Amino acid sequence: MTNKIVVENGVLNVPNNPVIPFIEGDGIGPDIWAAASRVIDAAVEKAYNGEKKIEWLEVLAGQKAFDKTGEWLPQDTLDKINEYLIAIKGPLTTPIGGGIRSLNVALRQQLDLYVCLRPVRHFDGVPSPVKRPEDVEMVIFRENTEDIYAGIEYAEGSPEVKKVIDFLQNEMGVKNIRFPETSGIGIKPVSKEGTERLVRSAIDYAIKHNKPSVTLVHKGNIMKFTEGGFKQWGYDLAEREYGDKVFTWAQYDKIKEADGEAAANQAQADAEAAGKIIVKDSIADIFLQQILTRPNEFDVVATMNLNGDYISDALAAQVGGIGIAPGANINYVTGHAIFEATHGTAPKYAGLDKVNPSSVLLSGVLMLEHLGWQEAADLVTNSVEKTISSKVVTYDFARLMDGAKEVKCSEFADELIKNL
């Protein structure tokens, strides 16, 4: 049997010894990857008595790639991930003036990994700035290929920005660029197609995991044709493709207008009682307040790229910080996926064997679940719970916990392996 993961009729076929490319990452990348991969290997070994084993294949990106090949993101890396379908990575620093805006964004865009999936949950004992961190249980679906991350931006003073501003003023009749001589300009493409595939993935996830609601988060009151479009296309798709499985706030509004508020409330209550998913929306600014004040009202969150970036770090803070927040970038159609930590390279901690490896480790758990290796995934999750409850933690938790024993990144991995 080949050791390549393949997609057959939309289903992943995973051999017992799959080759999985990994990018170690820059900064703290080597420390957290060494720790996390040891734990993942030990969990797989324990869960399947050696019958299954990941064959890690290192591929290069970032500083290590540049030092070895002269390129920040070698074509060979993209080819290998393309070929082997599933990969995992540590954080990458974006080279200044390297011609690539962000290596992380480039990887997502070049492989068209349109969903950035970031589940947020609390582990017992993890210190948190909020009173009831256990109420935070959300799964973020962040659109990963559009929005201002498309990188269409022109620098102040450049001939390009002059051309764009001339076009806007002279051909489009734009009068409200406040300081046209000294403006930089960015362009924000948000499409119906991009929105639909993202929202579809979010609703499919809610159905599969019995989640009661999907919230479309946007700033459509101001950006009517981009973020407002996202909201409208999301509602339209929900009603068109999931008619009997969802009840939307757009439907609620229509009933309210025709028959009054009591009828609309009754229709929503009936839908909830029938187990339908409530598809609702929230404007991004108030959403950031409400995830603090009433987090248990939100389950699956679907949003655009920039909102999703902000929201995922804000939510991570509520459950212990980005040191423990996992993520995945997925194309559900082709089956390609790159699992990755949500934090960056934290350069001040590089090489100190100090930081928390949980973000990349729990991204590995998402990967094991994605492969269908649930037993190994559960072993790691339980071990993280057990280890944190025993108050053996890295600096980020130790500084916020009473009576904790602070250990190094590698020692935390040793403890996790012991507790598998």
Ligand X SMILES: O=C(O)CCC(=O)C(=O)O
Ligand Y SMILES: NC(=O)C1=CN([C@@H]2O[C@H](COP(=O)(O)OP(=O)(O)OC[C@H]3O[C@@H](n4cnc5c(N)ncnc54)[C@H](OP(=O)(O)O)[C@@H]3O)[C@@H](O)[C@H]2O)C=CC1
Query: Annotated binding residues for NADP(+), as ranges?
Result: 93, 343-349, 356, 395, 399
Nearest approach, Cβ of 55 to ligand X (angstroms)? 27
Residue 86: half-sphere exposure toward Cβ, Cα within 13 Å? 28
Type of residue numbered 15: P
- Nearer CB in complex with Mg ion: 143/309: 309
CA 304 to chain centre: 11
Reported residue count of the chain is 420
Which of 146, 309, 340, 396 touches Mg ion by CB under 5 A? 309
Residue 308 interacts with ligand Y (CB under 6 A)?
Answer: no
Q: For the chain, first and last CA: distance in Å?
A: 30
Give the annotated binding-site residues for Mg(2+).
309
Nearest to 26 by CA among 360, 399, 417, 315: 360
**Rounded Cα distance, 381 and 358, in Å:** 10
Quick check: 146 binds ligand X (CB under 6 A)? no
| Rounded distance between C-alpha atoms, residue 5 and residue 19, angstroms | 7
Residues between 3 and 62 with contacts to ligand Y, criterion CB under 6 A:
28, 32
Name which of residues 66 to 95 contact ligand X (CB under 6 A).
94
Q: Is 282 in the site for ligand Y (CB under 6 A)?
A: no
- Residue 105 touches which of ligand X, ligand Y, Mg ion, none (CB < 5 to 8 A by kind)? ligand X
For Mg ion, give the closer residue by CB, 198 or 311: 311
Q: Read off the DSSP letter of residue 93.
A: P
Binding of ligand X at residue 215 (CB under 6 A)? no
Instruction: For residue 26, indicate whether it is catalytic.
Output: no
Should residue 340 be labelled a site residue for ligand Y when binding is judged by CB under 6 A?
Answer: yes
243's enclosing H/E stretch is none
Q: Which stretch binds ligand Y (CB under 6 A): 115-123, 284-292, 299-307, 341-349?
A: 341-349
Q: Is 102 in the site for ligand X (CB under 6 A)?
A: yes
Backbone angles phi, psi at 264, to 5 degrees: -65, -40
Burial of 99 (0-12, 13-18, 19+ CB in 10 A): exposed
Which of the stretches 37-45, 102-110, 198-206, 382-390 binds ligand X when contact is defined by CB under 6 A? 102-110
DSSP symbol at 333:
T
Active-site positions?
149, 219, 285, 309
Contacts with ligand X, residue ranges (CB under 6 A): 94, 102, 104-105, 309, 342
Contacts with Mg ion, residue ranges (CB under 5 A): 309
